[in-house]
Amino acid sequence: MLPTSDKLRLAIASGIRQIGEIAIESNASNARFKLCHHEDLERSSQADGGGLTVHNGPAAARELGSHAADGSYRFLKAQTNLRRGWVMVLESAADLRLALDQFYPACVGLWLAQQDGTLEIEHLRDKLSRQSGMYRRAKALSDAALQALVSSTCSPAMPCARRILWQLDAHTPLRPGAASQCRGIAAGIPESAAIPLLCREPCNHFVAEGLAAAKAGHTPAGAESKSGNQR
């Protein structure tokens, strides 16, 4: 079985050139790589680097991906507010993987698992059923409340660019809307040219929003039927 870094190198050689907001370039032998914000791609190709700050190796990736241009913390790494003004030069596919895993944790591995059919999905009700402590209150939210929460919490307007693969449960898809239709790929990039940002399970941020919704008094699952039986 090929190491993940080799699979990534082959993917770049086959035409992959972007992940999230990051453009990926390689040399003719696909042994040396360059990353930058996709909106800085033209600048990065200039002789003087277009005035971009050059980082050699993957060490700066964590810091670059942690804060937006305005200094705000990027609590979701798939937020569409990655700062610009830098270029990263990487000398191997292993360093490329290290860098991308800092910018977009686990996304390369999730995509490769999807490609070979081994990606496991955890649906929302399954995720909530495992919550304990104060977060267990979120499991009592009604289906309607959870569908609304997906629309408000996972919408690209938040902005999280991941492609949601999970459903409410194994038999209940998400309600059609912006959140359920997000491609996980920047606009204008064909699917064959990008590694999509995949969401295989509801994240901890979503669970926290579920707790907030439960505290706000959204109707618990089954409450309607109980009240109906009392009339």
Last residue of a domain, one of 83, 115, 147: 115
Could you tell me if 72 and 139 lie in one domain?
no
Domain count for the chain, please give it.
Answer: 2
> pTM of the full predicted structure?
0.87
Instruction: Say whether 164 sits in a helix, a strand or coil.
Output: strand
Measured from the Cβ of residue 189, the count of other Cβ atoms closer than 10 Å reads 16
pLDDT attached to residue 19: 98
Within the chain, residue ranges assigned H as helices are 4-13, 41-44, 61-66, 93-103, 107-115, 124-129, 143-153, 178-181, 204-215, 223-230
pLDDT attached to residue 154: 87
Could you tell me if 96 and 182 lie in one domain?
no
Residue 99 Cα distances to 51, 94, 165, angstroms: 21, 9, 24
Domain assignment of residue 42, given as a range: 4-115
Could you tell me if 89 and 153 lie in one domain?
no
Q: What are 95's two structure tokens?
A: 């360093």
User: Which phi and psi (to 5°) does residue 73 adopt?
Assistant: -75, 135
Could you tell me if 83 and 167 lie in one domain?
no
pLDDT attached to residue 228: 36
Q: Which residues contact 119 (CB under 8 A, 6 or more apart)?
A: 110, 113, 165, 198, 200
Could you tell me if 20 and 38 lie in one domain?
yes
Q: Which residues contact 173 (CB under 8 A, 6 or more apart)?
A: 167, 180
Could you tell me if 168 and 106 lie in one domain?
no
Could you tell me if 111 and 135 lie in one domain?
no
Measured from the Cβ of residue 209, the count of other Cβ atoms closer than 10 Å reads 18
**pLDDT category of residue 167 using cuts at 50, 70 and 90:** very high
Could you tell me if 80 and 145 lie in one domain?
no
**pLDDT category of residue 28 using cuts at 50, 70 and 90:** confident
Q: Which residues contact 146 (CB under 8 A, 6 or more apart)?
A: 124, 168, 210
Are 116 and 67 in contact by the 8 Å Cβ rule? The answer is no
Could you tell me if 226 and 129 lie in one domain?
yes
**Which one has a higher pLDDT value, 220 or 58?**
58
Last residue of a domain, one of 64, 95, 115: 115
Instruction: Give tens-digit pLDDT for 84-141.
Output: 999 999 999 999 999 999 999 999 999 999 999 999 999 999 999 999 999 899 999 9
Could you tell me if 44 and 108 lie in one domain?
yes
pLDDT attached to residue 218: 53
Q: How much is the average pLDDT of 10-15?
A: 95
Could you tell me if 105 and 135 lie in one domain?
no
CATH of the domain at 58: 3.30.1360.190
Specify the amino acid at residue 110: L
Could you tell me if 140 and 105 lie in one domain?
no
Output the average pLDDT for the chain: 89
Residue 131 Cα distances to 3, 124, 151, 171, 227, angstroms: 34, 11, 21, 21, 26
pLDDT attached to residue 155: 73
Q: How much is the average pLDDT of 164-187?
A: 89
Last residue of a domain, one of 74, 95, 115: 115
CA pair distance 164, 141, nearest whole angstrom: 20
Measured from the Cβ of residue 167, the count of other Cβ atoms closer than 10 Å reads 17
- Checking if the pLDDT of 216 tops 50, the result is yes
Percent of the chain with pLDDT over 70: 92
Q: How much is the average pLDDT of 33-56?
A: 93
